[in-house]
Structure 1
């Protein structure tokens, strides 16, 4: 459900290599069929470390992200959840009739780690349903917090109860395309390349960098009507009793306002957060194409990734003159993104935000 029919371990590993991903979560590891498919790819020719990951919807409709160090541990978690779920064997993201605290206890007993998935989103994020970690997890403490596409580290850094809790930025890809795989990622300092080491270092907060979308691109970043997507200030929506005056639609609080609502006066120190745009989308915009999957766009993508070996290197690491030697406009756009010089039109109410690049706007190409 909600996943591309092309999704397979082979395709995900191929996308990970092209993207420059060295550690890849399986996703959906509670599903026995999907879990069995990964059994033959835990050791793979791409040299990518595979970490069993899974997501559940629990009481309160909150989504929780879970990681385990082996497929057997993931199976043990699935068995422990089974009495509390009617779709544990049929759904990639099953519903488990347990509280956050109960899920935390079960996962820890099985040797895994857990935290709120896309914590700030309105419908199924923890802060969309609860006012605090304690409200969701009781006396338990989650191992991390996943930011989600509509938030970066700054959104959680002002919330005192999150001090010391590692932030993860994950792509949650629903297709095996490099456009989706690794569009958000976390750099983790590990001593040995094993799943157990990854889990240990996440818990220790050994994160050197988070990377992902500009939060404004997320479809729930701003407070907005879920029908017409008109934006409202928090105070304005409150005065309207969260009902859109245009059409009676429901106004949904945005991630930015929700983070501000929980924030205090101080800010915790966090690893750098690098805002990125998928290379395929940059190429599509530069070439004025309808899709990044056109033949011309794909040809340019291949040329650029061959320069450094991966998409992430193109976006973050290699010198701009090397990119310019392949395509000068792409180099100038990447320069804008690296400098944070973009024009943002925030999303809200379920509609994704958009961005434009000054370099191209100045040439009247957008």
Structure 2
């Protein structure tokens, strides 16, 4: 549900190679059919490390991200959750009628990792319903926190009970198209060969050396806004209007930007650098003035870059500008502007993505 029909393991792995990703979460690992589809691809010719991952919704509608070493741990969780879930075998992200604390206890009992998914999003997220980690998880610790597309590391760096929690920036892709998969990613420091256990150990230890992803303003819930007409409001205005839009009566939803500021109680702590990027297809779409990254013109330019440099992430962050210019000067100008933070952001809110323009 809610994903492209092209979401199959072989297409996802091929997309990782084009994007420049070396680690991929399966998503939906509690779903038996999805597990069966993945098992032949856990050891793959692309050399991608596949991490069994899944997401569940608790009794209060908070979403939790689970990372495990193998599918067997998710089988154990399915057995533990089945009596509390009507959708455990039919929904990739099942609703489980248990508290966040109990879910986390059971995840830890099987040896897996857990933390809030898209923690700042104003729907189905930790900080949508709770003012603290303990408010959701009680005395049970969390192993990670997923920032979500509308937040970067700075949004959580001043929240005291997150001071020792590793932040993950994940793409949550619903399509293997290059503008969706890997639009956010994590760089981790692994000692030794790449393995599932090595990746999970790095997350446990907080050995994340860089987060990369959207400018938070690009996220569709960054600013406080009406969910119907997307008119944006300050927090004071929203409160004055009793959280109803005076233009059309729509619900005004508190944005991630305002929510994070509410929760921050201390000076921002030290975090790995956060690199703000825009998917290459979206960059090409913008500078070429085409309607979509999927147009024939945009795809041809994108393919030229991949053919020349191997993968998208290298183009965005590593390939010298003169080499990019040799392929497409306008794209080189745009990437230079992004690298130098010469960007004008037009924040999203209320469910509408934000946009950017280049200086």
Distance 1:299 1:236 in 2: 46
Deviation, structure 1 residue 26: 0.4
Task: Work out whether 1:42 is the aligned partner of 2:42.
Answer: yes
Distance 1:304 1:223 in 2: 38
Q: Which position in structure 2 is the counterpart of 1:326?
A: 327
1:287-327 deviation line (CA, Å, top 9, x unaligned)? 21112112221111111122221100000011011100101
State the number of aligned residues. Answer: 358
Q: Which position in structure 2 is the counterpart of 1:341?
A: 342
Q: Which position in structure 2 is the counterpart of 1:246?
A: 247
| Bigger shift: residues 260-269 or 112-121 | 260-269
| Bigger shift: residues 193-202 or 212-221 | 193-202
Q: 4+ residue runs of structure 1 moved beyond 3 angstroms?
A: none
Partner SS, residue 220 of structure 1: coil
Distance 1:318 1:169 in 2: 23
RMSD: 0.9
1:164-216 deviation line (CA, Å, top 9, x unaligned)? 10000000001111111100001111123111111111011000000000100
1:225-246 deviation line (CA, Å, top 9, x unaligned)? 1111111111121122112111
Deviation, structure 1 residue 14: 0.5
Matches within 5 A, 1:116-127: 116-127=116-127
Matches within 5 A, 1:5-24: 5-24=5-24
Distance 2:58 2:306 in 1: 40
Distance 2:103 2:97 in 1: 9
| Bigger shift: residues 188-197 or 41-50 | 188-197
TM-score between both structures, scaled by the size of structure 1: 0.96
Q: Which position in structure 1 is the counterpart of 2:26?
A: 26
Matches within 5 A, 1:45-124: 45-124=45-124
Task: Work out whether 1:179 is the aligned partner of 2:176.
Answer: no
TM-score between both structures, scaled by the size of structure 2: 0.98
Q: Which runs of 5+ in 1 are unaligned?
A: 359-366
Q: Which position in structure 1 is the counterpart of 2:159?
A: 159
Q: Which runs of 5+ in 2 are unaligned?
A: none
Distance 2:341 2:78 in 1: 42
Distance 1:328 1:122 in 2: 40
Partner SS, residue 59 of structure 1: coil
Deviation, structure 1 residue 41: 0.5
Deviation, structure 1 residue 84: 1.0
